[in-house]
């Protein structure tokens, strides 16, 4: 393999640039040319390719976001769009791809390989940490620490004014961000998509705390919880406990930005190297990940279709520590 392409797709996450840097420098180390594909599959279709060398990725490991930009492409979901992307790769002599992203990115890569034979190795870039086949995803550690910093500040004002704050964190399908935020932020309650916690249980828990003369509370709500978002939950709680002074804070996209932590820089670098060397060893339709501190390659079919389960002991920790 003489020339490869690297791109980021879907939501950005801190540490993507560390992975891009590792891909470029690993390929250079092995004598392989690298082209950055701007704006994911959209840029692939349009032929937005940029030759990258070691100097191109200098001073990027500490930067948040992605230097290759990211975009969603409806056109790539069509056979015609994928044909155009394939033609662009062939015209530029690109023989393999490193895809940095999540489930949607890997689904597109798998279909693309099945139709046109372009091998792809994936790098798990998402703050949600919901991909099967790796203990941690690139950007997760930074997102949790960003959210925790916000929660610590909210705790100060909650305590000062005897308020109950409902704090919404990201996690459309997963509570992986919410759980460590609840434990590390000293929250009384956490609501995540993986568990069935009704608003009635939240009300009972808050009333019990109020009766024990507890005057400030933090409730962490993952954005994908089945009971609704933080605003909806707070409204229903306020109806049941009118004496409770409630506020809602949605941390939102701030969790995606910022300089990556040391853990995310290291993870992005490890997986970037593994992705290139996986391509060199003939791998295709797999995601590079770290499980039990060991490098593994997981087929896209498993990464996409298998559910990464929440450790239920963490939920028990929240219950015990909130007493």
- What are phi and psi for residue 157, nearest 5 degrees? -75, -30
Q: Same fold for the domain at 3-139+260-305 and the one at 141-256? A: yes
Is 30 marked as binding a ligand?
no
Neighbours of 37 (CB within 10 A): 30
Q: What is the DSSP letter of 292?
A: T
| β-bridge partners, 99 | 7, 122
User: Among all chains, which residue has been given the structure tokens 């950055």?
Assistant: 36
Map out the domains of the chain as residue ranges.
3-139+260-305, 141-256
Name which CATH class applies to 3-139+260-305: alpha beta
**Cβ–Cβ < 8 Å for 81, 75:** yes
Candidate list 128, 141, 225, 264, residue with the active-site label: 128
Cβ burial 186-220 (10 Å sphere, 16+ → b, else e): ebbbbbbbbeebebeebbebbeebeeeeeebbbbb
Residue 281 CB contacts under 8 Å (≥ 6 apart), including other chains:
none
Q: How far apart are CA 190 and CA 204, in angstroms?
A: 14
Residue 87 exposure: Cα atoms within 13 Å on the Cβ side: 9
Task: Give the Cα separation of 300 and 119 in Å (integer).
Answer: 12
Residues contacting 170, CB < 8 A, separation 6+: 127, 128, 143, 147, 177, 222, 223, 251, 252, 255, 256
Q: Is 128 a catalytic residue?
A: yes
Q: In terms of DSSP H, where are the helices of the chain?
A: 16-29, 40-46, 79-91, 103-116, 140-161, 178-184, 199-211, 230-240, 262-280, 300-305, 312-321
In tens digits, the chain (323 residues) has pLDDT values of 999 999 999 999 999 999 999 999 999 999 999 999 999 999 999 999 999 999 999 999 999 999 999 998 999 999 999 999 999 999 999 999 999 999 999 999 999 999 999 999 999 999 999 999 999 999 999 999 999 999 999 999 999 999 999 999 998 888 999 999 999 999 999 999 988 889 999 999 999 998 888 889 999 999 988 888 999 999 999 999 999 999 999 999 999 999 999 999 999 999 999 999 999 999 999 999 999 999 999 999 999 999 998 888 888 898 899 87
- Is 22 within any annotated ligand binding site? yes
Give kind and range of the element (H or E) at residue 52.
strand 49-52
* 156 burial via Cβ count (<10 Å: 0-12, 13-18, 19+): exposed
Burial 301-323 (b: 16+ CB within 10 A, else e): eebbeeebebeeebbeebeeebe
Say whether 212 counts as a known binding-site residue: yes
46 is in an annotated binding site: no
d(CA 161, CA 183): 22
Domain 141-256 adopts which CATH fold? Answer: Rossmann fold (3.40.50)
pTM: 0.95
What's phi and psi for 100, nearest 5 deg?
Answer: -105, 115
Q: Kindly state the tokens that stand for 169.
A: 């964190």
């Amino acid at each position: 393999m003489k020339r490869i392409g690297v791109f980021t797709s879907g939501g950005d996450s801190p540490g993507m640039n560390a992975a891009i840097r590792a891909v470029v420098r690993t390929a250079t180390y092995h004598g392989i040319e690298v082209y950055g594909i701007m704006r994911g599959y959209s840029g692939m279709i349009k032929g937005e390719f940029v030759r990258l060398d070691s100097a191109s990725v200098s001073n990027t490991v500490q930067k948040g976001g992605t230097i290759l930009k990211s975009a969603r492409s409806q056109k790539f979901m069509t056979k015609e769009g994928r044909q155009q992307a394939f033609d662009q790769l062939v015209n530029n002599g690109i023989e393999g791809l490193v895809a940095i992203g999540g489930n949607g990115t890997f689904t597109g890569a798998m279909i693309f390989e099945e139709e046109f034979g372009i091998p792809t190795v994936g790098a798990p870039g998402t703050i949600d940490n919901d991909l099967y086949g790796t203990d941690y995803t690139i950007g997760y550690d930074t997102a949790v620490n960003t959210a925790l910093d916000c929660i610590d500040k909210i705790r100060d004002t909650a305590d000062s004014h005897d308020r109950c704050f409902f704090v919404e964190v990201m996690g459309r399908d997963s509570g992986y961000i919410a759980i460590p935020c609840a434990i590390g932020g000293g929250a009384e309650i956490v609501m995540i998509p993986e568990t069935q916690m009704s608003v009635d249980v939240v009300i009972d828990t808050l009333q019990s705390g109020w009766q024990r003369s507890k005057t400030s509370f933090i409730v962490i709500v993952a954005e994908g919880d089945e009971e609704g978002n933080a605003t909806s939950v707070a409204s229903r709680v306020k109806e049941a406990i009118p004496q409770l002074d409630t506020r809602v804070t949605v941390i939102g996209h701030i969790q995606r930005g910022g300089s990556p932590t040391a853990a995310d820089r290291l993870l992005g670098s490890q997986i970037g190297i593994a992705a290139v060397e996986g391509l060199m060893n003939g791998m295709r339709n797999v995601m590079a990940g770290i499980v039990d501190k060991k490098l593994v390659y997981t087929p896209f079919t498993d990464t996409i279709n298998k559910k990464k389960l929440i450790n239920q002991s963490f939920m028990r920790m929240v219950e015990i520590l909130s007493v």
